[in-house]
Structures are given as C-alpha cells and as structure tokens.
Structure 1
Amino acid sequence: MNTQANRVVGRLLTPLLAVCLLAGCGGGRSTDGGRASGQPAPAQEKRAREVADAWRESEAAAAWNQGYYPMADAIQPVDSGWHTTADERAYKTGNIFLSDSLPTTAITQGTVKWRDGGSLNRPLMEATKAYQSFARTHNAERPRLTVTAAKLGETTLTTSRGPATVPAWLFTIEGYDAPLKRVAVTPSPLPEPPIEPTPEGFADGIRSVTRLAGTAVDGRSITVGATHGACDDGPVVRALETDESIVLYASVARERSGPCTAQLIEQNVTLKLRQPLAHRILLDARTGRPVPYGLPNGPTPSWT
C-alpha cells in the first residue's frame, strides 16, 4: 500500500462513497490496502459484506446503473496547459475575472451520451452558475485569468458507467487558443442507500473513506482519501471485492493512548485490486453510500 499525506483538515469531512455490489454466486475476497499486519477485524469485514448484500439487486443499485454520476473533475483546464506558473496559480486559486457578459440560453436540458451506448437527459446549468463554480475570487493585486467569451459545446468525462460525451460550457481565456471547460449538466440524484450507516468507530473502529482520488489506467488500482489522527500510525483501507462491487472499509493503524492534539489528517491510500475496477460500484462500508470522486475541499465534487 502506498500512502501520501495530502493535508490536515481542521474539521470532519462529509463522506460520500462509491461501492461495488456483491455477486450472487459466492462471497467476495478482501484485499489489504493498509500498513498494519494481520487480518482485518471480523466486525469490519462483516459490515462490508452486509453493505454488499444490501446493495445486491436492490432498487438503489438499479437507480445507480441508470444514472449519471461523474467520476472526474467537472472543470477541465485548457488542453495546452497554462503558459506560466502565475496563470496556473490564478486557476488553482479561482482568481478569474470576466470581461464581458455571459450568454443566456433557453435550453434547459442536455444529453449525456455514453460511449458504449445509452443516453440520459439532465438539467442544464446556466453559464453564469458554471462560471461562478471556478471563478471564486476577484483580487486584482494577484495573478489572474480573464474570461472573454463563452459558448455551449461538449466534452468527454469519466462516469460510473464509463466514458461519456456531455454538454459543457467552453470559456475562452485571454491569451489561450483552447478553452477552459465546465461540464454543464447536473448529476443524477443519489439513490437512497439500502442499509443504514454505522456510527464512526463502530465495528472495531471502522471509518469512512472520504473520496476517490484516482484510478489507474488499467483499472487495477485505485487511490482513495482516508483520515486519521495525530496519535496513530496512519490510515488503513481494505476492500471487499466481488464480481459486482468493491466495498471499502477504513481504520487506523496502532492508535496510541495519552494526550493528543485534536486534528484530522487526510492521506491518499492506494489499493491494488484483484480484478480491474471496470463498472463495479465503489461503496463505503461505514455509510453504505457510493464514494464520490474529488479533491479534498475542491470546488467541484462529482455530485452533491
């Protein structure tokens, strides 16, 4: 397992987690993404199996398989890359100005088209709202970018159902030939989980996985966010893999007693999978919910 510290978070993160469904032809096998030696606590694996069983052939699973759930950033920077470090800094801080009015459109629906077939109509976001999602500050004394025009177009995006072509607002950035793209359609509502969440720390210290941070090109490993405190040896994330799902369950390694500062540290944890992720759903064992894609405290979570 690979761990890489990302940041210290001064508050609890609200986890939305993605899950895979348990196959009906047999039990799943656990893969260990943690640093701690030994087997996972029986209560943790039991909870993971309960979540997988609850999702299997459930109404929630059917709704998930028919919905539009982005698994990549809704904001896509210019394809050519930023010309300077100042421009990159302006993008990352959202210091982006508008030099002209944005277009209005009477179109209220956009169509998501999957590469392997199938489509879905979803509400279309107005250009102004799309602009505000990445233009978060307006400080003329710091490096900034300027939007000079916008039009409705398309982009490609990874979703829970594979690659899709989706409507997007294309924003012209002063000094750049390629546009900044912002996905213009909203995700489907999340289905109600078919199982109740457990309290944090229940089931021998089970914790939530906060987010999906990335997937290997071959789909054989995933990187997720997990949290721990200042008085332990870091997060441990394990996966219960089945033909239909991957249920992630997190804990911490070697928690120490005694005085400890109150802080929550998020780290990236990379897990190797027994089989490629493919279209299996990622679920969080503690909450029973799908795991969203996203950067910590980022402006564009994959769904709300």
Structure 2
Amino acid sequence: MHTYAKRLAGLLLAPLLTTFLLVGCGNDQSPDDDHVKSQSPREQEKRARQVADAWKGSTAAAAWHRGYYPMANVMQKPESGWHSSADQRAFETENFVLRGSLPTTATGHGKADWGNGNTLTRPLWGAKKAYQSFARNRSEGARLTVTGAKLGTTTIMTSRGRASVPAWLFTLEGYDTPLKRVAVTLSKLPSSPIGQARQGAAGGLRQIARLVGTARNGRSITVHATHGACDDGPVVKVLETGESVVLYASVAGAQSGPCSSEMTEQSMKVQLRKPLGDRILLDALSGRPVPYGEPDGLSPSWT
C-alpha cells in the first residue's frame, strides 16, 4: 500500500523511523538564513499558547468534540496476521482481486459508540466503495482474493477516544478471519479559530506532518516531522492544557549557506504527562488539529 510503505518542554523524544522525501533532485539551494538565525523556543511556545487559547471554548472546539475523526488506520488486517510475505506485500501494494459478489443494498446510517453514553449517527460507505478504497491495484504478482463481505463492527481510536463503529468485514481466500474496513464517514473539519503561521516564522516553527499513532493508554503519541539535509533533525515539544495538546516543531542545528533541497520525514515519539483522552491534538504552526495518515491514503482524518 502506498500509505503503508511511507507508512508528539522537557519530554522524551525518540527517533523511530526515517523516510526520505525528495522535493528537488540534484539542486543546491540556500535556506532562508533569517529563519536559521531566528530559532526562539520562547516564541515557539508563545505561538503554541496562542493556539491553545484560541481553541479553548471556541465553536470549532465544540464542533470537534461532537464529530467523528479517526486517529488510527481504518483498515484492519485479519486477526491471525498475514500468512506470508507475499500476502503482506499484496496488502501493502493494494493488489486485490474480487471473486464473488458484494452487498448492493443501501447501507444508510450507522452509529459510532464511545461506550460512555455518547453516540453519533453518520452515513456509511457501501461495500463496493469500501472495497474500491483499498483494492486500487490490478497488477500481476502477489494478490489477495476477496470472496465476499458483510456489515459488522470493529473498534477504532478516534479524537474522542476508542469507539465501536460499523465496518465492512471482507472475507479473504485462505483466511478464517476477515479484513476489516471502517464504514463510517468522517465529520466535516471545523474551521480553525486562528490563522496559520508562515513556515519558519514564530521562532522557527515547522509544521507537524501527521499523526502516526497513539499508545493504547494515551500516554504517548507518535508523529512525523520534517527537517532538511543541513540540520541535526526535528525537535517536537508540547504544551498541554486541560482542553488541548499543542505540538510545536522546529529543527536543531540548522546551518546557513548552500544546502541540498532534500527533505527528511522522521517519526518522533513524545510522552505526555497524562493520557490524551478527548483533548484536541493541535499543530502550533497551522493552528489546526494534527491529521492522521496520508492525505491521499486510506486513513486521513481529513483532506
């Protein structure tokens, strides 16, 4: 799968995984020296506080807490795991074949249930649309065979905590347990109550690319942050309040002068003082909630 292959001061930051994104090939370019010289943790934290204050008690925050935003993969592999590396490769490259029929009846609406008395009714994806969302490759070689589907349920981490949601359960040839695809459609993202800052402004802030995962106990968060070829890597700090968790990212050891245009995206794990819970996870630069997953992938929180 495209997304699988590419697939939050004073906190423990642990580099986990590095992937490389080429934004220019064979070119040297000078970075903005003003940004290199303007690294200011105080200004970065000030911006984070402004974002937290803007969201606190806002109509955007109220809409966020009423909505459904997945913060984990909407695709869930069979409980047994993949039987072979070939099957795993077929899943990662989205190489599927359908041998059987899929339900064609209208699915209507279903409920996301957080188990605390809070539920939300949302439109559901049909079986065909759900299948087409992950079966986007028709090439030769390793592939998985889908033989049917039925509507069931699964659990998924959301912005409001873990929820039970409707899901399509796809039967796979050779597997006793299904491949699950969450069927609930996303809520519309509310407009941010604060505007976006310029990249490198506010004391050298950079944008958090996306959320990669949240620990089951909510005490740690893993995000992707970017940095260039002429620095020592990303730094991710966090401002925790009762209502939000604001991440503010920068780079360490930035150098001035000519530098290649290569950008590195690095996975960073951040420990929180208390579980994330239903607090809003915000990016200080954009002033918006941190999205989960790739923008064009299976599991973006929004696009």
Calculate the TM-score normalised by the size of structure 2.
Answer: 0.87
Deviation of residue 4 (structure 1)? 2.6
Matched, 1:52 2:60: no
**Please, which runs of 5 or more residues in structure 2 have no aligned partner?**
1-12, 25-38
Q: Which amino acid aligns with 1:73?
A: N
Counterpart mapping for 1:69-148 below 5 A:
69-140=69-140, 142-148=141-147
Deviation of residue 107 (structure 1)? 2.6
Alignment size in residue pairs: 277
SS at match of 2:260: coil
Deviation of residue 116 (structure 1)? 1.4
Matched, 1:251 2:250: yes
In the alignment, which of 18, 26, 33 is matched to residue 6 of structure 1? 18
Deviation of residue 228 (structure 1)? 0.4
Matched, 1:272 2:284: no
State the partner residue of 2:193. 194
Identity of matched residues, %: 60
* Alpha-carbon distance between aligned partners in 2 of 1:159 and 1:76, rounded to the nearest angstrom: 15
Q: Which amino acid aligns with 2:149?
A: A
State the partner residue of 1:150. 149
Whether the aligned pair in 2 keeps the contact of 1:80 and 1:178 (CA below 8 Å) is yes
Whether the aligned pair in 2 keeps the contact of 1:236 and 1:250 (CA below 8 Å) is yes
**Please, which runs of 5 or more residues in structure 1 have no aligned partner?**
13-38
| Pair 11,103 (structure 1): closer, same or farther in 2 beyond 3 Å | farther
Deviation of residue 297 (structure 1)? 6.6
* Alpha-carbon distance between aligned partners in 2 of 1:302 and 1:6, rounded to the nearest angstrom: 22
SS at match of 2:47: helix
SS at match of 1:164: strand
State the partner residue of 1:18. none
SS at match of 1:288: coil
Deviation of residue 272 (structure 1)? 1.6
Q: Which amino acid aligns with 2:14?
A: N
* Alpha-carbon distance between aligned partners in 1 of 2:64 and 2:48, rounded to the nearest angstrom: 19
* Alpha-carbon distance between aligned partners in 2 of 1:118 and 1:110, rounded to the nearest angstrom: 14
Deviation of residue 101 (structure 1)? 3.0
* Alpha-carbon distance between aligned partners in 2 of 1:241 and 1:116, rounded to the nearest angstrom: 24
SS at match of 1:65: helix
Whether the aligned pair in 2 keeps the contact of 1:244 and 1:280 (CA below 8 Å) is yes
Moved more, 142-151 or 94-103: 94-103
Counterpart mapping for 1:223-234 below 5 A:
223-234=222-233
* Alpha-carbon distance between aligned partners in 2 of 1:135 and 1:265, rounded to the nearest angstrom: 29
